[in-house]
């Protein structure tokens, strides 16, 4: 998706006033790009119609930079479809908050149950996992393993009683949570490989029996065109209050996110981005829109950067990215390279006017570099190479050593993580050969 759009916007960017033909050409490209990304046809049609209408309207005509305005419109419309604001989990006024999971087999429900439990525990909640998937022989066991890894409590039916009743298990689970004062209950349910009437009935029965505060529909981001029918079937069969998009770490290009959000009108609440229990993030519509749009900006930046980069450095960096061993030391190097390039503002002029990267650059300040350096210098080599070890006491020590506050240290680690993630996205996106950097 990104490469295609990038090209389109790049062409547009060189133009001054836009003719209706320019707009139509761009809209056609956007349409193709979205279809390529497996966004469902009705969604694509609606989206492009809206963009076209706005692009031909006054706001673009009167804009100082019409091309930039079109990009802005595409970004806004993407964010709108993706739900606008980030939506948080709704907690019940009177605990326990009951969260039921639904979705096809293999969509990532059980994994997500563990991730969510872990995340909630970190926030001070006391979740109870409930194993109401009695379909597959191993399902209860799988949840037990996940619960163990997450350090979360679990309610599971006793083994050896034959096939139990998942509705009863769910009901009992909620009761157990009440008795033992768990403030959140996460009910894992069965899925089938395809949409199935019996499965829907079971899920609907569990919903009726437990009256959950949230029903989260878990969908594999790689599902492609089936996203729409699957989401619709679950909306009709069980209905849900929110969506979890799983396997976003794969090469899914965000198409499913657009389709599901658009067709069901339900917010995407979480993005699941790996097999590990820590690979869970709140879903940010604006970031997803950026992910769809911004890759091009990053590429442009890299292209500019490589003129200033010393070739050997660039090669080294490319290797680092490829092997996924981007460290805080590299981060520091990179910031120093950026400084070499001098005028950041000039580079900002090339960006279509949005996105995280731009924000980061706008926030970029040379003194910041010195502070960053001070903090990184106060880290041990192990900490620099593996920032995951940076727990509270280490951060405190580093803050003291560098004369900064823990908040400064946290901010730096966050920025590093964002940069590392962005690097990974670029690396994964199969970027074209960038002269001087070699294939990433």
The entry of Mg ion, ligand GDP, none near residue 246 (CB within 5 to 8 angstroms by kind) is: ligand GDP
Window 403-422: residues binding Mg ion (CB under 5 A): none
Query: Is the bond preceding residue 96 a cis peptide, omega within 30 degrees?
Result: yes
CB of residue 390 to Mg ion, shortest distance in Å: 33
The entry of ligand GDP, Mg ion, none near residue 105 (CB within 5 to 8 angstroms by kind) is: ligand GDP
CB of residue 70 to Mg ion, shortest distance in Å: 44
Query: Which lies closer to Mg ion via its Cβ, residue 110 or residue 272?
Result: 110
- Cα 216 off chain centre by: 16
Known binding-site residues for GTP equal: 103-110, 188-192, 246-249
Query: Which lies closer to ligand GDP via its Cβ, residue 71 or residue 219?
Result: 219
CB of residue 108 to ligand GDP, shortest distance in Å: 3
CA atoms in the 13 A half-sphere facing the CB of 279 = 14
> Which of the stretches 101-109, 247-255, 279-287, 429-437 binds Mg ion when contact is defined by CB under 5 A?
101-109
Window 110-129: residues binding Mg ion (CB under 5 A): 110
CB 260 within 8 A of CB 219: yes
CB of residue 139 to Mg ion, shortest distance in Å: 5
Residue 27: C-alpha distances to residues 49, 213, 380 (Å): 8, 40, 51
Residue 175: C-alpha distances to residues 140, 172, 210, 249, 280 (Å): 19, 5, 10, 36, 28
Query: Which lies closer to Mg ion via its Cβ, residue 192 or residue 428?
Result: 192
The entry of Mg ion, ligand GDP, none near residue 266 (CB within 5 to 8 angstroms by kind) is: none
Query: Which lies closer to Mg ion via its Cβ, residue 110 or residue 372?
Result: 110
Query: Which lies closer to ligand GDP via its Cβ, residue 167 or residue 280?
Result: 280
Q: Does 334 bind Mg ion (CB under 5 A)?
A: no
- Cα 123 off chain centre by: 20
As a dihedral over the C-alpha atoms of residue 13, residue 16, residue 17, residue 22, rounded to 10 degrees, the angle is -40
CB of residue 430 to ligand GDP, shortest distance in Å: 18
CB of residue 145 to ligand GDP, shortest distance in Å: 11
Task: Quote the CA–CA distance of 67 and 55 in Å, as a whole number.
Answer: 9
Please report, as ranges, the residues that interact with ligand GDP according to CB under 6 A.
103, 105-111, 191, 246-247, 249-250, 272-275, 279
């Amino acid at each position: 998706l990104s490469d295609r759009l990038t090209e389109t916007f790049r062409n547009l960017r060189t133009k001054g006033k836009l003719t209706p033909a320019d707009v139509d050409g761009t809209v056609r490209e956007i349409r193709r790009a979205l279809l390529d990304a497996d966004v469902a046809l009705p969604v694509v049609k609606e989206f492009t119609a809206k963009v076209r209408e706005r692009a031909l309207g006054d706001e673009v005509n009167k804009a100082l930079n019409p091309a930039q305005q079109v990009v802005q419109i595409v970004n806004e419309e993407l964010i709108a479809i993706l739900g606008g604001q980030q939506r948080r989990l709704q907690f019940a006024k009177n605990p326990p908050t009951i969260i039921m999971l639904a979705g096809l087999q293999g969509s990532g429900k059980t994994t997500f149950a563990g991730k969510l439990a872990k995340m909630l525990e970190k926030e001070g909640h006391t979740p109870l996992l409930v194993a109401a998937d009695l379909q597959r022989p191993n399902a209860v066991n799988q949840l037990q393993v996940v619960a163990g890894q997450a350090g979360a409590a679990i309610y599971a039916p006793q083994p050896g009683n034959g096939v139990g009743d998942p509705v009863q298990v769910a009901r009992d689970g909620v009761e157990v949570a009440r008795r033992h004062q768990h403030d959140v209950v996460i009910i894992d349910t069965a899925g089938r490989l395809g949409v199935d009437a019996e499965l829907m009935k079971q899920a609907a029965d569990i919903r009726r029996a437990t009256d959950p505060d949230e029903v989260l529909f878990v969908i594999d981001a790689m599902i492609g065109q089936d996203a729409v029918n699957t989401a619709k079937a679950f909306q009709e069969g069980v209905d849900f209050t929110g969506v979890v998009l799983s396997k976003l770490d794969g090469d899914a290009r965000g198409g499913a996110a657009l389709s599901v959000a658009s067709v069901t009108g339900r917010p995407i609440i979480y993005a699941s981005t790996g097999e590990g229990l820590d690979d869970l993030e709140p879903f940010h519509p604006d970031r997803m829109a950026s992910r769809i749009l911004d890759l091009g900006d990053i590429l442009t930046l890299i292209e500019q950067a490589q003129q200033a980069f010393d070739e050997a450095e660039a090669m080294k960096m490319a290797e680092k990215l490829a092997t996924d061993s981007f460290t805080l030391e590299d981060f520091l190097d990179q910031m120093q390279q950026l400084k070499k390039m001098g005028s950041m503002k000039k580079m900002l002029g090339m960006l279509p006017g949005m996105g995280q990267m731009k924000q980061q650059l706008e926030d970029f300040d040379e003194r910041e570099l010195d502070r960053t350096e001070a903090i990184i210098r106060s880290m041990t080599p192990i900490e620099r190479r593996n920032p995951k070890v940076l727990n509270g006491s280490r951060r405190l020590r580093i803050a003291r050593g560098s004369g900064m506050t823990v908040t400064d240290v946290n901010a730096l680690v966050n920025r590093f993580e964002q940069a590392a993630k962005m690097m990974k996205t670029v690396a994964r996106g199969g970027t074209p050969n960038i002269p001087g950097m070699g294939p990433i």
